[in-house]
Amino acid sequence: MKQDGRQFDSHGRLRHFLTIEGLPRQTILDILDTAESFIAMGEREIKKVPLLRGKTVVNLFFESSTRTRTTFEIAAKRLSADVININPSLSSTAKGETLLDTVRNLEAMHTDLFVVRHASSGAAYLIAGHVSEHVHIINAGDGRHAHPTQAMLDMFTIRRHKGPFENLRVAIVGDVLHSRVARSEIHALTTLGAAEVRVIAPKTLLPTAVEKLGVHPFTDMRAGLADVDVIMMLRLQRERMTGALIPSEQEYFNLYGLTAEKRAYAKPDVIVMHPGPMNRGLEIDSAVADGPNSVILPQVTNGIAVRMAIMALIMGGTPAAEARRAP
């Protein structure tokens, strides 16, 4: 597979982390394997390694997300980087400064890595095309396009609980149309060779010609969840919707909300996932979200190790094997 020049440098090393689409399978596996070496750090008395000592990381979040921003901050600090959190709504962007002007000014303060979350698709790509060669960009979610680190932490969670992807049937359920998470998950699962990827939603929340992404679409929960190993629920993204795409929230829950009864259509040992934040009683019933099949909280824990791995690989200047040995 040809490497994406926007993500790799001239030596073939991962420079930015903008999207899962087009990433070689081995790069994804390197990230997952490197994250394994960091997962136990949370249980140590001293939770730091010096891989990024002296580096500066700026969390530049134009959209709010406490969970994602916090796990990035913890990940960077555990790698011994200095971390700055910028709230653009309180900064010069609120006074009319452009996105690139904001980044250029922060870059002039010797920033090494920007973690960018933005409502516009392609924002991280735009920044990556205008920063100096030594500066790295991680996409923490851009519009309806991609959320690659969420996909990676979900792949890590699936592999830890279910083993090789080649044997797995995975169902992604809910607002696929507006979900950058769903797009990144689909690219990751297909690249890793999942046996089958299904998407389940009302027709109004399925992208046109979604089959071209290599998935099997369903509009019925019973058929879509039959014999699956993994259920990924998606948040119903009211803020991205225009028009009445669902008849009512109660009707949506009745048909597509994950309850214990619907979960029983899947395999008995199915794992249930959700990228958060959850709308309980709309996308998922509390008995399922907090039940024995749920791995929703482990997803959050795993996000720290995975984001550490991505930062270490793109900023450390070391091969994946060396980064894995660091702890």
- Count of beta carbons in the 10 Å neighbourhood of residue 90: 8
* Residue 91 confidence class, pLDDT cut points 50, 70, 90: low
C-alpha of 193 from chain center:
18
**Percent share of the chain, pLDDT over 90:** 76
Per-residue pLDDT tens digits for 38-53: 998 888 888 899 999 9
CATH 3.40.50.1370: which residues of the chain?
A: 25-146+301-325, 148-298
pLDDT over 50 (residue 2) = no
pLDDT confidence of residue 324: 55
CATH code, 148-298 = 3.40.50.1370
Per-residue pLDDT tens digits for 281-319: 999 999 999 999 999 999 999 999 999 999 999 997 554
Dump the DSSP string for 36-50.
Answer: HHHGGGGGSSS----
pLDDT confidence of residue 93: 61
pLDDT confidence of residue 87: 79
* 25-146+301-325 is a CATH 2.60.120.10 domain: no
pLDDT confidence of residue 320: 53
Task: Check: CB of residue 145 under 8 Å from CB of residue 121.
Answer: yes
What is this structure's pTM?
Answer: 0.92
Per-residue pLDDT tens digits for 143-189: 889 999 999 999 999 999 999 999 999 999 999 999 999 999 999 99
Encoded amino acid at 135, one letter: V
Catalytic residues: 67-68, 95, 117, 147
